[in-house]
Amino acid sequence: MAANFGKNYKISIFGESHGSALGINIDGIPAGTELDLEFISQEMRRRAPGRSKLTTPRVEKDEFEILSGFFDGKTTGTPLAMIIRNSNQRSKDYSELKRKPRPGHADWSGFNRYNGFNDIRGSGHFSGRITASLVFAGAIAKQILKEKGILIAAHIKSVKDIEDRDFVESDITQENIDKLRNMTLPVLNEEIVEKIEKVVEKTREEKNSLGGIVELMVTGLPAGIGDPYFESMESELSRMIFSVPATKGIEFGAGFGITEMTGYEANDEMFYDEKGNIKSFTNNNGGIIGGITTGMPISFKVAIKPTASIEKAQKTVNLETKQNDILEVKGRHDPIIVPRVVPVLEAATAIVILDRVLENNKYSK
């Protein structure tokens, strides 16, 4: 099973939503790296459920335990292993799902992939809970990247028809990033917070769910990181981002909107800035051309689908009776997953960027 990622900053994840534990093994952290454990804990809390009325009432503290590769506050250079023990399990909520696959979930596809042996409890290995391990690895990657002047930020771009403004490069400061990290609904225009809360609450009352779009930006990367074709920066980011459950689309820079432009409009014309750095007047290509960074910010948007588990009655099939059936999903579920996926997408991005930066360092003069 493809539970591994990376050539230089290598990760391997394991676990199930309602198993005894989940975790990750990380290889490639430079020896002597000092880890800010409080920062890592803060990142884990951002993803954890139970933070607000917008999330599932399931409470998991996501307290991590480092098993190896860390001594006297610094990494040893050997693989770093971490586990999170699941403490709030209610598997009885999912007993019906063994015979009635949930629409929108991986119950049916997973059943076929693993010949019926897949763990159905809380979606098992397909659960968004497994992303806690990605957040852990991403928090470490962020610390290493920050030392290199590379910053990663994300905000909720839209929920339903409620739109936030786009990032501009000047938004990406440590002060603004810290502000977004401390917001339950990380948006740039705070006037839309109440609107989002109201539409989410209305959707919850209707036993339904919502999705949304998250925008990310990476600054501080020099030109020349990445490769063409199969290991392009866009390819690697897309591969990782689509590994985050609920992701259904990604677009870089102007994205699909670039098809409405002429070549002259789409091309990012270039200039020397006051410091002698080569920049472009626009960033329609999202800071990546030919699979390689241009020195402009990497900019992309991610489409997150509505939470699949809803209490509204849905049509499905009964695998035991071989008949059509009706399913009403019970249990504890998010009416919207978008706020909790923001730190996951940041972490996933950090993992890829660090892996590519370390790869580039192998060939730099």
> What residues form the annotated binding site for NADP(+)?
47, 53
Instruction: Tally the residues of the chain.
Output: 365
Q: How many C-beta atoms lie closer than 10 Å to residue 314's C-beta?
A: 16
User: What is the number of alpha carbons within 13 Å of residue 99 lying toward its C-beta?
Assistant: 11
CA 97 – CA 55 distance, rounded (Å):
22
> Phi first, then psi: what are they for 119, rounded to 5°?
-75, 115
Tell me the one-letter amino acid at 115.
Answer: N
> Phi first, then psi: what are they for 350, rounded to 5°?
-60, -40
Burial 33-61 (b: 16+ CB within 10 A, else e): bebeeeebbebbbbbbbeeeebbbebebe
- Reduce the DSSP state of residue 25 to 3 states and report it: strand
Q: Is the dihedral of CA 285, 289, 295, 298 positive or negative?
A: positive
Tell me the one-letter amino acid at 48.
Answer: A
Categorise residue 206: left if φ over 0, alpha if ψ from -120 to 50, beta otherwise: alpha
> Phi first, then psi: what are they for 70, rounded to 5°?
-145, 125
> Phi first, then psi: what are they for 278, rounded to 5°?
-85, 120
Q: Which residues are annotated as a binding site?
A: 47, 53, 125-127, 290, 305-309, 332
Q: State the DSSP H helix or E strand holding residue 204, giving kind and residue range, or none if neither.
A: helix 193-205
Q: What value, to the nearest 5°, has the Cα angle with vertex 91 and ends 87 and 97? A: 150
**C-alpha 258, offset from chain centre:** 25
Q: Which residues are annotated as a binding site for FMN?
A: 125-127, 290, 305-309, 332
Tokens of 351: 């993992």
Q: Give the contacts of 356 (CB within 8 A, at least 6 positions apart).
A: 225, 226, 233, 236
Hunting for tokens 């917070």 — which residue is that?
A: 193
Tokens of 187: 């948006």
